[in-house]
Structure 1
């Protein structure tokens, strides 16, 4: 079980935002939603072929205080590291803690 003392990592929660490019198309940019304290733990790792080359992947569990609106379309940033959210779980269904299953890709 996670407690307040385990929230040692300062993470930036981001979501993708489409911005018009002025020529009828758009570009995608990541904007900050919030900065949160979280527990970050490595779950596993591996490698596979991405775009014709070998790429590493690490999976992490990120636990933070419950926050409405967190979805798998978002990501966390921890310095230069980017953690893409794969799943969001309301632990115990009590709206106290969120556990996010994340993947850090080496692309």
Structure 2
């Protein structure tokens, strides 16, 4: 495997619940750190509920490897952000046998 070109700076974010002041909780996203990545788009499709239409594009995002349990290793349920673009992470696996790189299978949802 040749080394990927990690040319896009992204922010790794984790979901957090914060008190909303009325006895409940609101969802907030907490930045865990910045990563450099290579993003390869897949095929798109239209989805969403009746009232909301979303365009959805599957993407493979490659970043530097990190051992299991390390805070810099992305997990399903977290997301990567690039400016206003959001990429919820669906799965993470090693991209090569040596574990030098990780592949995040994600999707970009775009309001239609």
TM-score, structure 2 as length reference: 0.84
Q: 1:91 to 1:23 in 2, by over 3 A?
A: same
Superposition RMSD on alpha carbons, in Å?
1.6
Q: Which residue of 2 aligns with 1:9?
A: 8
CA contact (8 A) 1:2 1:63 kept: no
Offset, 1:94: 2.9
Q: Quote the residue 1:24 is aligned against.
A: 23
> SS of the residue aligned with 1:34?
strand
Is residue 2:84 matched to residue 1:80?
yes
Residue ranges of structure 2 left out of the alignment (5+ in a row): none
SS at match of 1:7: coil
Q: Classify 1:3/1:92 alpha carbon distance in 2 versus 1 (closer, same or farther; 3 Å).
A: closer
Alpha-carbon distance in 1 for matches of 2:28, 2:53: 26
Q: How many residues align?
A: 105
Is it true that 1:103 corresponds to 2:102 in the alignment?
no
Equivalent residue of 2:26, what SS? Answer: strand
Distance 1:29 1:36, change over 3 A: same
